[in-house]
Amino acid sequence: MAKPYSGVFTACIALAVISAPLNAFRPYLIQRMVDDHIFQLDISGLKNVAIIYMLVVLAVVITRYFFIYYTALLGQSVIKDLRVRVFDHISNLNLSYFDRTPIGRATTRTINDVERINDVFAQGVITIVADLLAVFAVLGIMFYTSWRLTLICLITMPFLILATYIFKEKVKSAFERVRTQISEMNSFLQERISGMRVIQIFNAEDQEKEKFRSINREYTQANLDSILYYAIFFPVVELISAVALALLVWWGAGAYLQGTVSFGALVAFPIYLNMLFRPVRLLADKLNTLQMGLVASDRIFQVLDDTSIIDNAGKKVKAPISGAVDFENVTFAYDGINDVLKNVSFSIAAGETLAIVGNTGSGKTTIINILNRFYQLRKGTVKIDGLDLMSYDLPYLRSKLSMVLQDVFLFSGTIMDNIRLRDDTIDEAKIIESAEMIGAHEFIEKMPNAYNFVVSERGSNLSMGQRQLISFVRALVFDPEILILDEATSSIDTETETIIQYAIEKLIEKRTSIIIAHRLSTIRHADKIMVLRDGEIKEFGNHEELLQIEDGIYRQMYEIQFEETAA
């Protein structure tokens, strides 16, 4: 991941290598000032060493600044690219991934887990290397100054290492629980906030609040456990450090009186001791940060390694296409086991309109999902203009199809942005012309700022009918060769449906159209009508032909709806 930024990575390592001995050199200069100049009353020499000391401190400050800055720059650069890579990969996954993955979990992977990767660079590998270099540099100068005092300081080191190891293991377990719980919380909140209307309709607020309290309690407890380990660990480290300092003073004072240790060394060693213990004390925390980063990276790479990505091996770009569609012995199952479509075969000539009717779960929407290549075909062949669907370049293929769904999704932004989907090649004049043809221009002009009216998330500040009209305009401006209407008029009132029915008929005159509808009155003029049941084609023909079938499914559906309309 850091390969494109190898220069910055190298600079970070170089700064760590330079900073370690420089920082460790400061107590040594203090020792020299005490032993060689203060005790010798050498004011001139003391001034020179003091200047050198100040220059060393300045050099340490500068190298530390650039080290912190470049490690942060490296981390942010890596996660910037990684976010794009993850989002790009998720964008190319087929819909089966989203069928089995909660949105909150995918959001956690893209945001929270990616942030943990930044910690690996800003507080993980490089800083651990820098701290280890600092420890070795300090130990080297300590042994050079007085090996006896150094050994005294190291007496408590095994206890510090043991405490660090126990802390690391406990915090690792707690942090893993934190990561799991925050993923659960994100999934819960995403789903409940999106479905808040349903929760309020069914007066389920109290039940959902209790569920959230339970999830929040688990998340809070996981955080409290990690805080508890910190609260125990740091006082223990302070205690070990205090014991080490007490041993140093006790033995060092005796050694000074015996003349085996200089007073300057006795002054410098408490500083060495602090410089030695501080990196070791923080090492456990940084190792946990590194481990959490590795766990997060593992989760991210599970997403990146997901093999349900939509294959785009096709290269054919046939311009223009006429829109003839052929399904040949198509069998499909979302789970790979239970077939939703069973050996389905049919043809639509270019410019024809096919209407698909059937009960819920019969496979109507599955047909258009396969045509758009949202899912990988299990068995059979689908062709457009006689060419296998898989042979087409995927972006090109989808540019030739437009869909109007029953559940219209509008993004936050203006009506204009939602119609053109931020494709600046579609000019405003074409959008207005399409809106006038559909019958949406009048209501859009009445909105504040007209086409620049700001739509809230999911279009909640528009009526269902208004959202549906905008989706019709959106489908039209892309001028598709194949138009798909999936229950597109089911959420529109009778008056609005009357407004757009003529526009729909004009729209489908010059292109191949597939219409899924429950209202049979909207499809009676279709060239062909296909009746599905349990994933199989039961009847196929035009409106008049299907009505002639005694005890036919279509005829029964039509008679029931006719009776309901008459009533």
Task: State the pLDDT at residue 58.
Answer: 92
Asked if residues 86 and 109 have their Cβ atoms less than 8 Å apart, the reply is yes
**Residue predicted with more confidence, 533 or 567:** 533
Q: What is the pLDDT of residue 476?
A: 81
Domains of the chain: 3-304 (1.20.1560.10), 325-566 (3.40.50.300)
The secondary structure element, H or E, covering residue 246 is: helix 205-258
- Alpha-carbon distance of 371 to 382, in angstroms, equals 7
Which is nearest to 366 in space by CA: 401, 330, 402? 330
Q: Ramachandran region of residue 12, left (φ > 0), alpha (ψ -120 to 50) or beta? A: alpha
Model confidence over 179-188: pLDDT tens digits?
778 878 887 8
Convert the pLDDT of each residue in 380-421 to its tens digit: 899 888 888 888 888 888 888 888 877 777 887 888 888 887
331 against 153, higher pLDDT: 331
Element (H, E) at 296: helix 263-304
CB neighbours of 92 closer than 8 A, spacing ≥ 6?
Answer: 309, 310, 312
Apex CA 397: angle with CA 394 and CA 400, to 5°?
150
Task: With CA atoms as reference, report the closest residue to 223 among 185, 280, 270.
Answer: 185
DSSP assignment letter at 362: S
State percent of the chain over pLDDT 70: 92
Chain centroid to CA 250: how far?
A: 57
Three-class DSSP category at 91: helix
For residue 245, the number of C-alpha atoms closer than 13 Å in the C-beta half-sphere is 16
Its sign, for the CA torsion 316, 317, 318, 322, is: positive
Confidence class for position 457, pLDDT limits 50, 70, 90: confident
Strands 401-404, 528-533: pairing is unpaired
Task: Tell me the C-alpha distance between 15 and 59, whole Å.
Answer: 11
CA angle 384, 386, 392 (to 5 degrees): 50
Question: Distance between CA atoms of 177 and 292, rounded to whole angstroms?
Answer: 11
The per-residue pLDDT for range 423-451, each reduced to its tens digit, is 777 888 888 888 887 777 888 888 888 88
Least confident of 7-11, 53-57, 498-502: 498-502
Model pLDDT, residue 187: 79
Beta bridge partners of 331: 379
169 CB-near residues (< 8 Å, 6+ apart): none
* 3-state SS record for 446-514: HCCCHHHCEECHHHCCCCHHHHHHHHHHHHHHCCCCEEEEECCCCCCCHHHHHHHHHHHHHHHHCCEEE
Tens of pLDDT, residues 25-63: 888 888 888 877 787 777 888 888 888 889 988 988 898
CA atoms of 396 and 411, how far apart (whole Å): 23
Query: Cα 548 from chain centroid?
Result: 54
Confidence of residue 8 (pLDDT cuts 50, 70, 90): confident
Output the six-digit token pair for 32.
Answer: 């020299």
pLDDT digits (tens, 9 = 90+) for 232-272: 888 888 888 888 888 888 887 877 777 777 788 778 888 88
Report the pLDDT value the prediction gives residue 143, as an integer from 0 to 100: 85
Choose between 439 and 346: higher pLDDT.
346
pLDDT of residue 490: 62
Helix 428-438 and helix 464-477: axis angle, to 10°?
130
pLDDT at 567: 46
Q: What is the side-by-side order of every strand in the sheet holding 325-332?
A: 341-348, 325-332, 379-384, 387-388
Q: What separation in angstroms does the CA of 24 have from each of 48, 138, 271?
A: 19, 5, 9
Rg of the chain over Cα atoms, rounded to whole angstroms, equals 36
pLDDT digits (tens, 9 = 90+) for 459-490: 777 777 788 788 888 888 877 888 888 876 66
Q: Where are the beta strands (DSSP E) in 385-439?
A: 387-388, 401-404, 413-414
The DSSP string of 188-210 is: HHHHHHHTHHHHHHTT-HHHHHH
Kindly tell me the burial class for residue 429, based on how many C-beta atoms sit within 10 Å of its own C-beta (0-12, 13-18, 19 or more). exposed
Each residue's pLDDT tens digit, 503-545: 677 667 778 888 887 777 777 788 899 998 888 888 898 888 8
Spatial separation of the C-alpha atoms in residues 148 and 256, rounded to whole Å: 12
Residue 565 has pLDDT above 60, yes or no: no
| pLDDT score recorded for residue 555 | 85
Q: Are strands 341-348 and 325-332 parallel, antiparallel or unpaired?
A: antiparallel
pLDDT score for 79? 81
Mean of the per-residue pLDDT values for the chain?
80
Task: Enter the DSSP assignment of 350.
Answer: T
Q: What is the pLDDT of residue 2?
A: 59
Written as six digits, the tokens of 538 are 């039961």
Q: Per residue in 191-226, pLDDT tens? A: 787 777 777 777 778 888 888 888 888 888 888 887
Q: Which carries the bigger pLDDT value, residue 417 or residue 106?
A: 417
341/375 Cα distance (integer angstroms): 13
